[in-house]
């Protein structure tokens, strides 16, 4: 059997290695149009920023390695121009001499990945404007910085790459400006979580422009849509990627969402004996079962392994993804998995949101706060999605949530997880457990939550309600929601009889715990409907203008 693979980065090399492990008899040939293979693209910003000294660590394997260890032939600087399914052939161009030739296959795996999107802005072809998608891109950016010593840089786009590049260029002493066309940065997050990231960027002297676009790039500036001119000597365009599927489409291979290749759980396309994997394919959501496009190196490796297994008779199949992602921005960690609130709304879920603000470990052991936003199905209790921003232990918590969601956990299940505890690592009740307790109380124990956004809607509705600030007087006097009455938690029992028990009541404190304690007292005293402001005044304050408190 002759197996041809188009593309030799994460997915392609994973497919080849797995196919060889399954079969010593197969002929395996990879074609790669670039000069590098099997590299760690996610590490590139850290080499540019100097955190990683040796670029060779990002390219640990070359064609000679695959030939000696796996007996696999990898031909770099060879571009596949077309696929001919009826004849089971491909046309290949040797980029070093422009010669073209035909190769034949029994099984074909497409792992062509994706390319950086370059918006149609005048000046994007200038020599100081770059995208970052390949090792060659990385080397060009590094060489430009070494040779020109830019003092300013503008980054268009605020996804993972844009933010990671802002940190690493700042590390080199370069002043950074971020430009985002949406009203918020980090488009994958909900706006009430991205605001923490934007605040952190500003604390680290990064200038942020949102709700605007670049309309022209000159030799020394970027011109924004409102006429603002930003001085910049280096421009990084990081507005997203697009799957490399044009020649697949020309061959009759069916495409789906985002122009990515449709595959089944065994990585098979609609054409017999043609498979696809990596960043060029669409994926399946573990939450909804619907197709999504969330290209990541971890998923590329996984789908590559499945493709290599299936072309050699194996039984692996793809179960789907949650769209999990994590990145570091300066000393802050940002992570997400599953559905955002925005997506839950679009999909029609009846859901509940909680904000849990807790340290990753005791403060006496250096613990720092993390904010955990959890979205859960109000009817079933199933966890739908989680977003976390914090400074320690975020990676641990997001992976616990990923595991729980993958196996269908409900909010009430989180409290019962037997998580590891010792003061250097966690609090006695881990933040994951606390999130479960908060949601379980809201869904099953008549301890409803209200978010800051929902409180705004309530205020605009004209419905009568009381809002109680349960903090001590000094905290209330310093700053509070402008419609709130100060009834400290320790005094609430003695004065609650003077309140109307039939009027909807909202309680809040700094982060939610004392607000919940006050809520418990009022409900136990016969109040009909009492909501606790999730995330307390901290969450309200960061999502509102100062005139609101």
Q: Is 178 exposed, middle or buried (0-12, 13-18, 19+ CB in 10 A)?
A: buried
Q: Which of 42, 277, 280, 310 is catalytic?
A: 42
**Cβ atoms within 10 Å, residue 425:** 17
SS3 content of the chain, % helix, strand, coil (to 5): 35, 25, 40
C-beta separation of 14 from 300 below 8 A? yes
The residue behind tokens 């990898």 is 74
Query: Is the distance from CB of 141 to CB of 132 less than 8 angstroms?
Result: yes
Q: Is 42 marked active-site?
A: yes
Kindly state the DSSP code that residue 262 receives in the 8-state scheme.
P
Q: Are 63 and 37 in contact (CB under 8 A)?
A: yes
Kind of pairing, strands 332-338 and 325-329? antiparallel
Helix (H, G, I), strand (E, B) or coil at 51: coil
Q: For the CA atoms of the chain, what is the radius of gyration?
A: 27
Token readout for 147 is 């040779």
* 8 A C-beta contact, residue 512 and residue 534: yes
> CB neighbours of 113 closer than 8 A, spacing ≥ 6?
7, 9, 10, 11, 243, 244, 278, 279, 280, 300
What is the rounded distance in angstroms from the CA atom of residue 98 to the CA atom of residue 90? 16
Q: Which residues are catalytic?
A: 42
């Amino acid at each position: 059997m002759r197996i041809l693979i188009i593309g030799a980065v994460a997915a392609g090399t994973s497919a080849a290695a797995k196919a060889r492990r399954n079969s010593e008899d197969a002929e395996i040939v990879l074609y790669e149009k670039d000069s590098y293979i099997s590299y760690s693209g996610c590490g590139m910003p850290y080499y540019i920023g100097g955190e990683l000294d040796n670029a060779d660590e990002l390219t640990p394997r070359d064609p000679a390695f695959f030939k000696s260890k796996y007996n696999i032939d990898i031909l770099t600087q060879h571009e596949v121009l077309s696929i001919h399914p009826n004849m089971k052939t491909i046309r290949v161009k040797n980029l070093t001499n422009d010669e073209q030739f035909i190769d034949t296959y029994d099984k074909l795996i497409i792992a062509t990945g994706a390319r950086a999107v370059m918006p149609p802005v005048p000046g994007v072809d200038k020599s100081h404007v770059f995208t970052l998608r390949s090792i060659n891109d990385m080397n060009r950016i590094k060489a430009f910085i070494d040779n020109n010593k830019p003092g300013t840089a503008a980054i268009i786009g605020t996804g993972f790459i844009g933010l990671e590049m802002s940190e690493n260029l700042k590390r080199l002493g370069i002043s950074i400006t971020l430009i985002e066309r949406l009203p918020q940065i980090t488009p994958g997050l909900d706006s009430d979580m991205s605001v923490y990231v934007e605040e952190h960027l500003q604390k680290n002297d990064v200038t942020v422009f949102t709700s605007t676009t670049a309309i022209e790039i000159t030799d020394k500036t970027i011109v924004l849509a409102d006429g603002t001119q930003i001085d910049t000597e280096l421009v990084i365009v990081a507005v997203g990627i697009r799957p490399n599927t044009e020649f697949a489409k020309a061959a009759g291979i069916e495409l789906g969402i985002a122009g990515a290749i449709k595959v089944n759980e065994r990585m098979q396309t609609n054409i017999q004996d043609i498979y696809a994997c990596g960043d060029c394919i669409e994926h399946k959501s573990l939450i909804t079962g619907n197709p999504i496009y969330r290209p990541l190196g971890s998923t590329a490796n996984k789908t590559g392994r499945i493709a290599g297994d299936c072309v050699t008779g194996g039984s692996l199949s793809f179960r789907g993804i949650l769209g999990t992602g994590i990145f570091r921005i300066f000393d802050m960690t940002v992570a997400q998995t599953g559905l955002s609130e925005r997506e839950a709304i679009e999909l029609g879920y009846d859901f509940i949101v909680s904000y849990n603000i807790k340290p990753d470990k005791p403060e006496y052991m250096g613990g720092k706060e993390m904010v955990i936003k959890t979205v859960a199905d109000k009817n079933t209790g199933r966890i739908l999605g989680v977003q976390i921003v914090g400074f320690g232990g975020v990676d641990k918590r997001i992976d616990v949530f990923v595991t729980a969601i993958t196996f269908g956990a409900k909010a009430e299940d989180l409290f019962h997880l037997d998580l590891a505890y010792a003061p250097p690592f966690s609090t006695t009740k881990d933040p994951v457990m606390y999130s479960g307790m908060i949601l379980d109380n809201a869904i099953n124990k008549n301890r409803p939550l209200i978010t800051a956004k929902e409180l705004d809607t309530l205020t605009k509705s004209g419905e009568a309600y009381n809002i109680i600030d349960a903090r001590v007087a000094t905290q209330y006097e310093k700053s509070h929601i402008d419609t709130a009455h100060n009834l400290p938690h320790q005094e609430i029992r003695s004065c609650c009889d003077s309140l109307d028990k039939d009027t909807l009541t909202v309680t809040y404190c700094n982060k939610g715990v004392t607000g919940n304690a006050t809520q418990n007292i009022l409900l136990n005293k016969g109040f009909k409907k009492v909501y606790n402001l999730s995330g307390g005044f901290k969450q309200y304050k960061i999502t509102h203008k100062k005139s609101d408190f």
